[in-house]
Amino acid sequence: MRIISYNVNGIRAAIRKGFLDWLSQANPDIICLQEIKASPDQFDLAPFEEAGYKYHYWYPATKKGYSGVAVLSKYEPLKVTYGTGIEYMDFEGRNLRLDFESFSVMSLYLPSGTNIQRLDHKFQFMADFQKYIDELKQVIPNLIICGDYNICHEAIDIHDPVRLKNTSGFLPVEREWLDGFMKSGFIDSFRHFNKESDQYSWWSYRAGARTNNKGWRIDYHLVAEPLRERLKRAVILPEAYHSDHCPVLLELEP
């Protein structure tokens, strides 16, 4: 079972950059998308089905051209859940979950903290999301939360931890929350297999950041502890250039 998570920074823009050809070649069983920035009536869905993703679910934000998540699957889910039931989260289309027989996959787009107001919003989201997941795990223990968390966990996950220590995405309070979230019963699947530095999933468009690999690792597959024995491989796929992010891949044993 191959699961990819990818913040595409606009699905229509990604399609223009060759996303569909890449998707056919990468051939995941499930792909979770974030920041789709469009509703499904704004682009052609047929190519996704032609690529094998008969089951595709789109959850755009109410605000046009903003946020939004999606999950595309080759297999029919038992249940699809749009949002969390928390109004301000669901207004921005930040959470979509597919339940299968032996696990559930969630596409998450956690807010960034680009200014004081958005940082306060992010902190509120983090607290409420933790409570939501704590309750959800009681009924869905085999949960995989894929997506853009907009937080680097540790110094190894960012290119300049000293200079960026006071920047949103690497603030001590954000890192502490993510650390606690993982310790509440989730495995950082990438770090489970890979302890090396200079492994990133997002780069600024400015100052040649991607060329010089001045990046951040903010995209994760967090896997619930009961699935630990099924973890097979987790890698970052930096060769994909459809976004300022790159995809991250998780493989599970059947």
What are the residue boundaries of the structural domains of the chain, listed by start? Answer: 2-252
SS3 179: helix
Mean pLDDT, the chain, integer:
97
* 148 belongs to the catalytic site: yes
pLDDT digits (tens, 9 = 90+) for 79-102: 999 999 999 999 999 999 999 999
Q: What is the CATH number of domain 2-252?
A: 3.60.10.10
Q: Which residues of 152-183 are buried (b: 16+ CB within 10 A; e: fewer)?
A: bbeeebbbeeeebeeebbbbeebbebbeebee
pLDDT in tens, 123-138: 999 999 999 999 999 9
Query: Catalytic pick from 148, 157, 188, 219?
Result: 148
Whether 254 shows a pLDDT value over 90: the answer reads no
CB of 155 closer than 8 Å to CB of 116: no
Q: Is 245 helix (H, G, I), strand (E, B) or coil?
A: strand
Which of helix, strand or coil describes residue 26? helix
Which DSSP symbol is given to 150? S
Tens digit of each residue's pLDDT (9 = 90 or more) over 15-35:
999 999 999 999 999 999 999
H-run or E-run covering 51? none
Q: What is the pLDDT of residue 190?
A: 98
Q: Is the pLDDT of residue 117 over 90?
A: no
Tokens at 241, concatenated: 């250039």
Pairing verdict, β 30-34 and 55-59? unpaired
Does the global pTM surpass 0.85?
yes
Confidence (pLDDT) at 86: 97
> Over the stretch 32-75, which tens digit does the pLDDT of each residue have?
999 999 999 999 999 999 999 999 999 999 999 999 999 999 99
